[in-house]
Structure formats: structure tokens, C-alpha cells
Homo-oligomer: A and B are copies of this chain.
Amino acid sequence: MYRPVVISSDDMADEEASVRLLPGLPSYESRDKKAPEGGWSMRNTAFLASLVLNLMFIAMLVAVFGLSWMTPNSHTPAAPQWNDALQAAELAASKWCSGNGNVFVDTLGFNADGSGDCECNDCFTGPDCSISVPDCIADADAGDPLLFEAYWRENADLGTTVIPGWYRMSYRPQDGATTLYTDGFMAAIKDLHALVGNAVTEGRYIVAGTGSMQLINAVVHSLALQDEGRVTPVVAKAPFYNAYSLQTEYLESPLYKFAGEPDRLTGNPNGKGGQIELIASPNNPSFQMQEVTQNVTGPVVYDHAYYWPHLTPITKTMDSDIMLFTLSKITGHAGSRVGWVIMKDFDLFQKVTWYTMINTIGVSHDAQARATQLMRTVIRSYSKGDPGKKGIFHYGQKELQSRWARLQDIFKNSSRFSLQELKPGYCNFFKKVSDPSPGYAWIHCNHEEDVDCQAVMLSGGITGRPGSEFGSSDRYVRLALLKRQSSFENLVAHLEKLVAQT
């Protein structure tokens, strides 16, 4: 295990000077010749020990610094001097926040001397986040994947991204590049899919986006462009991820229009394009696998954000025409804004690429760099050369299985509330039958008077997302299970109370 150490080059200069000024050492032979009275004395032993110690120190210096100080005209450029940034980052990272907060170099009030308050997690407060906020609401609205934060903290030697000042400054990833992405980034995406076996990438076209959020509209817009001369309906079967309708309606266009439920019976007899169907599998919010099998007269966009082994069993290698993925739900880095879409059609690939060019000139190279580092870390942790290192899929699955089991326990005797039904399934990645490990609870309020399940939750000090946002009834509410352990514990405490009330 290595620990980066700071040594002032001033110190080093002193050492070099002192080594060179070392007085001539008596040789072994001369010491023998001048045998002191009484033979080998304590002083001789001490002297020898001291010399040996010095030799060890020198050897250590040479091993560390090399002999470069001996060869003045070396063509190799010196390693960059990054200590400034490194020290600041280490100082921030070593701040104690009671296990319930963070300090980063860009934390407000963080100073070079290490002073400054922590940024506290939900329901904690105080300069070092040691104070629990009493009666803190359990916020389970957003699918914020913070449960992975602990994983990356525990594996601090992995996943750190060091970005030099001159890293990929151009609009293009490098001179002469024909795509918007770094080679390492694209390779990591393909390698990750190959490791997990959840999607075909060989012979496919991949466009990255600032989150899969950007790509949803990029794909819709591009598909609609391929369907010239009509307003292409965009559909999704309820319950569906609320962004599908929200985004499609907000970024309104003469090319397409959100049209609610898919037309399964007639397909869509008007025009050749049919409907653009958006479908998540596993579904958000219910986490049930789904696919479009009947009356397909138009393109189907599969959103596989949650099709990773910690969240759902990998039952087959998906090979649909259009498949969306996001880093957010793989490693938990929702804030990095990295997603991608895998496509078979080259014309669609060109159009989706152009959309991202016009919208944002591609994806931040910094985000690509970070995503590459994180994905490589995941891949490496599952490589044969790294035995025993617990990978993120094991970590996440264990945690989410435990959470789901606890939820089932809470609701098992409740007639007032129902959880969605999920069955265990064989996972090709874990090579065994896996219990469910969903990211969301999709709860139904059964009592006649509980028409607004979100309000019922709120009465119990829990915020969830109402069913109507997903195109369903407000008797449904979605609770996110992806947050930190402290958030989940708070959620469980509130749920137990709420369920017990009945």
C-alpha cells in the first residue's frame, strides 16, 4: 500500500548537499588495523550501526528519487508538480464529518488550513454534522443513487480522477478525432457491457450524452426527423418515467407530440412512422421488466437505466434497435451527467450525434474522464487479476436486497398499503438466482379514502412522487430506495410508524 508523501525539494537539496559533504569514511581495513583496546568496542558497534543506518537512508532516497539528480542533462521531462491540488484534496477528504457529511475543495468556507464547516447529509447538521435533526422528514422523492457513496469512500484508492490543467482542452477530444468521445471512454463503455453481458455493442453505434436525459429528446427528435411530413406521436405505457412526458412536452416541436398510451390494437395506420414508444426495462417506477411485443409499427426506445446486476437479474443480452444507459445507476455518479445510447441504424446515429452537437457540442471531457476512471475501476475490480476485491455490483445488490426485504417485512401485514410484486430470478452475471433488489417501491394505497397516496405518505413524514406523474393514478406513490443508509433508516422508521397507525 502506498502513501503519497510530500517532501520539499528544498529538503532534498539539503540532503544531496550533506551526502556530498560526508567526511571520508574510514575503510573496513583501516578500522581493523586500528583495533582499539579490548577489541570490538561499543563505540565501534554504534559507529557501524550509524553508518548502516545512513546507507539505508541513502538507499531509500535513491529508490525514491532515482539517480536523476546525478544525471544533469536528462531528456525526460520532470513529473508535473501537482502537489498543490493534491494536498488540498487530501486535506478536504480527511476532514471529519461524523460519517454524515462531506468536505470537498470547493466546499463553501473550506480553507487551506483545513478549517471550515462540513456539508451535511439530509437530517444532520452542525459544523461536523454530529447533530441529528429531530423529526426530520424522510425524503424519498428523487432516485438519487447515494447509497454508492459509501462504496467509493471505502474504496478511496480507486475511482479518483486526476485531471491535468491541459487535459483535452479542444472541442474535439483530440486533434484529428472523428467522434466527440475519448477512446478510453468508448472502450470502457464497451468493456463494461461485455463484462456484465447486458447489451450488445459489437457492430453498434454509440452516442454519449449529458445524462441519458439529454439523449431521450435527442433520440425522439432524430426519430421524428426520420418520419418526415407528420407530427410523430410519442407514447409510453403507464406507469412510465415522468421525464418522458415532461421533456417531450416542454421541448415542444412541430416534429413530434406526446400522445400518452401506446396504440396496441391498431398500431398506427396513419403514415409509415407509426409511434415512437419510450419504455424502461426494468420499469421506473415499478422495476418490472417489460418489452413491446405486439403491434409495433414504429421505433421502440428501450431505457435500460436500471438493467444492471445490482438492480435486477441479467436474464439476457439485450439487442434492441435503440437502448439507453446511464452512469448514474451503475456507479451512482448521477451528478457527472453521463449517459449513452446504443443504436443499429447509422442514419439515426448521425442525427442523434448532430443533436448533441447543436445542443451542447457533445459531452464534457471532464465528465468523460471521470466516467472512464470509474468504469475502469468497476471492470478492474471484477478482473481475474484482482481477486477478493468486492465489486460494486456485489455491494449494491447486497444493500438493495436487504432494503427490499425490510420493506416487504414492514408491509407484509398491511392491508392499507401494497408493494409491487417482484420475483427472484436467475442472473447471468452472478450466476445464481437473485432476490429482488429494486431501486424504487411502487406503493398502492388500498383504502377507499386514500385517493392521494402521496398525501398519505406526507402525513407520515415521508415525501414520495405521486402516481399521476408517471401517468398512473394518485393511489400510487413512488418511494426511492437508492439513497444513503441514514436516509433509508429514516424512511424505514417513518414507514413503520405509518403502517402501525392503521
Interface residues, chain A, with chain B CB atoms under 8 Å away: 1-9, 11-12, 14-15, 18-19, 22-26, 31, 34, 36, 42-43, 45-47, 49-51, 53-54, 56-57, 60, 63-65, 75-90, 93-94, 96, 102, 104-108, 119-122, 142, 144-146, 148-149, 152-153, 155-176, 182-185, 187, 209-211, 213-214, 217, 221, 243, 246-247, 250-255, 328, 332-338, 354-355, 358-370, 372-374, 377
Contact = CB atoms under 8 A, between A and B. Distances in A.
A366 B161 CA distance: 10
29 contacts: A2-B8, A3-B83, A7-B60, A15-B60, A19-B53, A22-B49, A31-B43, A46-B47, A50-B51, A80-B90, A80-B156, A82-B90, A84-B158, A85-B161, A88-B162, A104-B164, A104-B182, A106-B182, A152-B165, A161-B161, A163-B370, A165-B374, A169-B334, A209-B360, A251-B358, A336-B365, A337-B363, A338-B364, A360-B360
A57 B11 CA distance: 10
A220 B445 CA distance: 43
Given A175-B122, A364-B367, A15 B56 contact: yes
A157 B360 contact: no
A36 B104 CA distance: 61
A157 B86 CA distance: 10
A108 B185 CA distance: 10
A46 B26 contact: yes
Contacts of A165: 152-153, 155-156, 158-160, 374, 377
Given A5-B7, A11-B63, A102-B166, A335 B173 contact: yes
A247 to B, nearest CB: 5
Number of copies of chain A assembled together? 2
Contact of A50 (B31, B47, B213, B214): B47
B119 A175 contact: yes
Given A60-B15, A160-B165, A79 B374 contact: no
Given A84-B157, A93-B164, A246-B358, A170 B144 contact: yes
A1 B9 contact: yes
Nearest to A93: B80
